[in-house]
Amino acid sequence: MKPEKVTEFYRRLRDLEPAPKTELKYINAYTLLVAVVLSAQATDVGVNKATGPLFKLVDTPEKMLKLGEKGLKDYIKTIGLFNAKAANVMALSKILVEQHGSQVPATREELEALPGVGRKTANVVLNVAFGQHTIAVDTHIFRVGNRTGLAPGKNPLEVEQKLEKVTPAEFKQHAHHWLILHGRYVCKARSPECWRCPVIDLCPFEPKTPPPEEQKKLKARAKAKAKADAKTPRATSVPKKPKKKK
């Protein structure tokens, strides 16, 4: 995608949501870190349901350690992989207390050294908690980057690096949220809602998904055609007579 189109792409997303925010509920940098760790292979809605009651009781690593792993599991048992996630949360909480003065570190290297924290989680925390211009690439952003041609790549790291390169400085602070919201609610995986996409004319993806009304008409036509074809008798071939030998 050409630079002028990239700028226009982001400008339109910004016009729709000037100050986007993460949909994960959190109180401080620590609870944000915990929420993002829990959100791996889970929905934000599901995580919020579990952490709502949890964060009323626990908002520091000391309180988490006091709650204990078994107590934590009782709160997050509705989240996928909760056993492994509970173990990671307890381990990273212990490290924060012992090595970081109970504070969440503000560097990628220190964050990725924590149990259960990968590059994507670190990028989210750096961006949301510390205002750094990082872009965390999840499945939604990976799809948007490739489908729109904004930042095509074979893996999340490639997409992230290309986004870092092509995204104008004025949009980098909120790029992550604009792209994830666009992928989550408009540029969906199975059936992208192209008819209401604000960047439809900038996107090379084909075929564009038509509006629901048109989809109904197309399905009705296809159904009618299939019905008509079923009534049409098939031509039967007449077997050829064998040639007589001379």
38 burial via Cβ count (<10 Å: 0-12, 13-18, 19+): buried
Q: Which of 5, 120, 201, 231 is catalytic?
A: 120
Alpha helices in 100-174 (DSSP H): 108-112, 119-130, 139-148, 156-166
Task: Count the residues in the chain.
Answer: 246
For residues 152 and 159, the answer to whether their CB atoms sit within 8 Å is yes
Instruction: Judge whether 135 and 167 are in contact, CB under 8 Å.
Output: yes
Cα 182 to Cα 144: distance, rounded to the nearest angstrom: 8
CA 79 to CA 28: how far, in whole Å?
21
Rounded distance between C-alpha atoms, residue 205 and residue 193, angstroms = 12
Least Cα distance to 38 among 125, 102, 158, 133 occurs for 125
Verify whether residue 15 is a known catalytic residue: no
Expressed in angstroms, the distance from the first to the final Cα of the chain is 73
Q: How far is CA 139 from the centre of its chain?
A: 4
- Using CA atoms, how far apart are residues 198 and 205, in angstroms rounded to an integer? 14
Catalogue the E-assigned strands of the chain.
none
List the catalytic residue out of 15, 59, 73, 138: 138
Radius of gyration of the chain (CA): 26
Which residues carry out catalysis?
A: 120, 138
